[in-house]
Structure 1
Amino acid sequence: MSKLFRNTLYLQLQSDKLRALHVESGRAFAEAPVLAWRSEKGRVIPLAAGNAALVLRGSPGVTVVNGFQHPRSLLADFSVAEQTLQLLFKTFIPATLFQAAPTVILHPLEHLEGGLTQVEIRGLAELLLGAGARRAFIWSGVELSRTALENLQFPAEGGTLHYPEPS
């Protein structure tokens, strides 16, 4: 597939920060992984995600939550985390006439003691796919180079590709 139509995001995730790199354009972002929402007539209405959500903190009727804030795991609230990523993907991916769903490489940076459990790996992969990723990869280890990201190459030494499992 031509690079013109590719969207690859490299996400380095901590409970208080999400760093993103749009591989094809080289644009980098750092956002708080939070969601601002308002409840109207019994429905939750997402308003903003990331740093834009922080600006709304303290506004009447607005709740700001972090779906990645938990003492034992990086994924605390699946639906909040999914809505957060859905809104942030729109920020991270440059607007084009034809916009392909992104390939997302998630690199968790904390809560890795003892390794990721199968439940955590599956939860993170399903989170990315539910948020709009066309393909999802879960990586832990060394920071991936731009060349490795462009070619979706994961070094055999220096880390582990947790998802998808090698066939």
Structure 2
Amino acid sequence: MDEKRAVFNTLYLRIACDHLHMTHLESGREATLQANPPFSNVRLLVADFSVADRLIRDAAQSLIAKRFLRLSLPPRLVIHPLERLEGGLSQVEERILLELGKGCGANKVVIHIGDRLDAAGVRAKLARPCA
């Protein structure tokens, strides 16, 4: 596919206990979803993988225009966990977040811990080579 004609889909996902906020950088469209049933518990940000997976897929599908799906590149995604970060993320928690990102169709997933990112910050995170 010619990259000049390709439609980019860059997504920024902020995830907190039982809710998420996703932004499509190219269009500026946003989706905020509340989990019902919940996907978090008192120890884990993502305790129910299937509920979180369905919610993230729904958010991504609502933001990426259907008419551009055939012309677009797979989404790139930065996941920003906002809660349950005491002591950092374990390898298992990182794997859960990466799998959630891949599950919504993203070909590149980066986890960010820190301050909220603007569009330039999200793009900078995605521009870095994978570790």
Q: TM-score range by the shorter chain?
A: 0.7 to 0.9
Aligned partners of 1:65, 1:85: CA distance in 2, in Å?
A: 14
After superposition, the C-alpha distances for 1:14-44 in whole angstroms (9 at most, x for unaligned) are: 1132111111112223221x2xxxxxxxxxx
1:63-142 residue pairs with structure 2 within 5 A? 64-67=36-39, 69-97=40-68, 98-142=71-115
3-state SS, counterpart of residue 152 of structure 1: helix
Aligned partners of 1:120, 1:149: CA distance in 2, in Å?
A: 21
Q: Percent identity?
A: 35
If you compute each CA radius of gyration, which structure gives the higher value, 1 or 2?
1
- The count of aligned residue pairs is 126
* TM-score, L = length of structure 2: 0.83
1:1-167 residue pairs with structure 2 within 5 A? 1-2=3-4, 5-32=7-34, 34=35, 64-67=36-39, 69-97=40-68, 98-152=71-125, 164=130, 166=131
Query: Going by fraction, where is strand more abundant, 1 or 2?
Result: 1
After superposition, the C-alpha distances for 1:135-156 in whole angstroms (9 at most, x for unaligned) are: 11111001112112234368xx
Which structure has more relative contact order (CA 8 Å, sep 6+)? It is 2
Q: Which runs of 5+ in 1 are unaligned?
A: 35-63, 155-160
Q: Which runs of 5+ in 2 are unaligned?
A: none
Q: Which amino acid aligns with 1:81?
A: A
Aligned partners of 2:125, 2:6: CA distance in 1, in Å?
A: 16
* TM-score, L = length of structure 1: 0.66
Aligned partners of 2:94, 2:55: CA distance in 1, in Å?
A: 18
CA RMSD for the aligned pairs? 2.2
